[in-house]
A = this chain, B = another copy of it.
Amino acid sequence: MKKLFYPESIMVVGVSDTPTNLGRRIVENLERFHFSGPVYPVGREGGNLDGREIYTRIEEVDAPIDLVVFLIPAPFIPEALEVCGEKGMRYAVIESGGFSEFAEENRRLDERVMEIAKKWDIRFVGPNCISIINLENGVVLPFVSLDPGGIKTGPISFVGQSGGIVNATLRLCSNENLGLNKLVSMGNKLDLDENDYLEFLISDQGTKTIGLYLESVSDGRRLMDLAGSARKPVVVLKSNTNTASNQIARFHTTALAGDDEVVSSALRQVGIHRVHTLQEMISAFKIFNLPLMKGPNLAAISRSGGSAVMAADAAHRYGFRLNQFSDSFLKFVRQKARAGVIRMTNPLDLGDVFDLEFYREILHRALKEKGVDGVLFSHVYLSGIDVMSTKHLIRAAKEFSHLYQKPVALCMIPNSGEWFMMRRAADFPIFTEPEDALKALSISHSYYKNITDREPHPRTQFELPTQKAQESEIRSHRVQGPGEVFELFRQYEIPVAEYRLAKDHEEALEAAGLIGYPVALKTADSDVVHKTEAGGVMLNIGNHDELNEALQGIKGDSFLVQKMVDDGHEVFIGGKHDPEFGPVILFGMGGIFVEALHDVVIRVAPITEREAGEMIDGVRGSALLKGFRGGLKADLDALRACLVRVSRLLYEHREVQQLDINPLVVRGEGQGCQVVDAKIFS
């Protein structure tokens, strides 16, 4: 991959000297951004571009080429790629559109390109993209003219799908004086996808923070593994949240885990910060340019009372602690208060301190305070008059922030004449008001907690589904009844309330005798999905007579007689196969909690014991399990173990489209839990 971003020579195919030609813009960008290697333009009509010969055929170029860029009509790509393969080129960029994104009938073209690439071992970017920008070495390949003057080189790399988003990110970063390193517009992701770029950027020296804009996820598990093990922050903007995907309407589970909720859960599971707008992404980039916030202790300093109040509100909202400042700090501040009108609280309101140069020293001392992990400094200054001292303050914030390895979130509202000037005063981020500054600090703090508290758990390296899947003899596209499902559960040691299957009334009566009353009687016909509504379930049958009566009333041709489980909390465990992340597990309290209150937690399977515990804690209704208002304290150990086992089952049985355990009864501490009813759609 390195050659893609650091080629020593580049060929651009599709160049002419006509002014509207897009290919020539690529050559011009390379020139303008000072790419130092040789560039070979190729175009049918030949000619000359700014003194550079345009070759009429690829074959004419007699030099080693590290990277070839195509901007010719899609139908010509296969032939051209074949020639490049023959000539030994191994990295390509296809910027042309007109593949399957344009019309489904072009899918054959996609396949042809892939065949040729595979044959010659070529990896390529695109098609349908503005491809790659590497500001380190001037490899700037978009076919739109870019101006080096407006773009700053720095530690942030960004991968997006379309050119529009890459451009928007470029502008927003430049406006905020954020330095960029590498940018990728992936286009159709026919060969290389976000995970390939991500893997490269994680190992890339010049990249300290990574932003990903995704409209689809190519391989969710690899994304989780990569981002989850990266030693640099990865910020993900996943859009396209509104696609109605292959919903299987039969079970309600599906509706509970909309694809977008799976994305959010999966990313959170490995500590990736998900944002929903470009501006939120920029805010994350800003804060990740600073040392991380290593604890929850915030010093808030403000020049305006109103801003101090809003800072306190936001600090509370984001869970920061506002400790009291030390006596020596307060003594220091007090000496400069004009009328002594300072309340020595945190937030500290500096409204009465008019010596702006003195602010630097206050900031310095605040960072030195022991009980301070980061500082919010909300600044107000007079336009035109306090410009220099404010610039000094910004530079001091940068210096002290790095000196003490603590973040300083500086916010101010310059007027239009000074807005960008202040942003360029130093390589240091400016926020607008306490809310966005503290939200950013909370992102930094969450990231820090996550990397220091990370559990190694690669989701792609789990033992692969083996013969277990075959053993269980699960047929496809059908609902499995409790009999089959319970047998599968036995293999995974998922406890099921004692039951027996019965083919007729006689067997049912016999089964009840063996199990002991009270029992439940259920239809075992697998095509009755909602048994309760369909009159397929009778509960609390106390003796033979009652059972006889129940057998007369129940629908169905085969039966399941089950021991009644009393005295426990009913919970729900679900599973489904997500198209992007594979098997996921769901947990919630039974009945209305899941269905009307949507109080459900999702995780990508398999999960660890610890993750099982987090799932339980993540459901608000789980207060019930912990002995709410003198109620029964549930056997959480058993529940956690059960969640882990179900997650393994889901992982090892990829043919399971949906799984529904409803209810699992969790009994008192030490009493275990038991599945009462379950079904699987596979």
Binding site for B on A (CB under 8 A): 97-98, 102, 144-145, 147, 150, 160-165, 167-168, 171-172, 174-175, 213, 215, 239-242, 276-279, 303-307, 309-310, 312-313, 315-317, 339, 341, 351, 380, 382-383, 413-417, 419-420, 432-433, 435-436, 532-533, 591-592, 595-599, 620-621, 623-624, 628-630
Give Cα A316–Cα B436 distance, bound, in whole angstroms: 25
- Closest partner residue, chain B, to A145 (CB atom): B382
B629 to A168, Cβ gap below 8 A?
Answer: no
A279 to B171, Cβ gap below 8 A?
Answer: no
User: In the complex, what residues of B have CB within 8 A of residue A279's CB?
Assistant: 432-433, 435-436
User: In the complex, what residues of B have CB within 8 A of residue A312's CB?
Assistant: 240, 242
B599 to A597, Cβ gap below 8 A?
Answer: yes
User: In the complex, what residues of B have CB within 8 A of residue A239's CB?
Assistant: 306, 309-310, 313
Given contacts A164-B307, A304-B168, A597-B621, are A313 and B147 in contact (CB under 8 A)?
A: no
A277 to B624, Cβ gap below 8 A?
Answer: no
For the complex formed, measure the closest distance between the CB of A55 and the CB atoms of chain B, giving whole angstroms.
27
B595 to A306, Cβ gap below 8 A?
Answer: no
For the complex formed, measure the closest distance between the CB of A480 and the CB atoms of chain B, giving whole angstroms.
23
Given contacts A420-B416, A432-B279, are A306 and B160 in contact (CB under 8 A)?
A: yes
3 closest Cβ pairs, A-B complex? A164-B304, A596-B623, A165-B306
Give Cα A628–Cα B168 distance, bound, in whole angstroms: 47
> 29 A-B pairs, CB-CB below 8 angstroms?
A147-B383, A150-B415, A161-B306, A162-B304, A162-B306, A164-B307, A164-B380, A165-B304, A168-B306, A171-B413, A171-B414, A175-B419, A239-B306, A239-B309, A240-B309, A240-B313, A242-B316, A277-B310, A277-B436, A278-B433, A533-B629, A533-B630, A591-B628, A592-B623, A595-B623, A595-B628, A596-B621, A596-B624, A597-B597
Give Cα A301–Cα B174 distance, bound, in whole angstroms: 26
Copies of this subunit: 2
A102 to B313, Cβ gap below 8 A?
Answer: no
For the complex formed, measure the closest distance between the CB of A422 and the CB atoms of chain B, giving whole angstroms.
12
For the complex formed, measure the closest distance between the CB of A28 and the CB atoms of chain B, giving whole angstroms.
14
Give Cα A102–Cα B241 distance, bound, in whole angstroms: 52
User: In the complex, what residues of B have CB within 8 A of residue A145's CB?
Assistant: 382
B623 to A416, Cβ gap below 8 A?
Answer: no
B351 to A164, Cβ gap below 8 A?
Answer: yes
For the complex formed, measure the closest distance between the CB of A308 and the CB atoms of chain B, giving whole angstroms.
9
A591 to B629, Cβ gap below 8 A?
Answer: yes
B415 to A175, Cβ gap below 8 A?
Answer: yes
Give Cα A316–Cα B145 distance, bound, in whole angstroms: 35
User: In the complex, what residues of B have CB within 8 A of residue A276's CB?
Assistant: 435
Given contacts A102-B341, A164-B305, A240-B313, are A415 and B171 in contact (CB under 8 A)?
A: yes
- Closest partner residue, chain B, to A240 (CB atom): B309
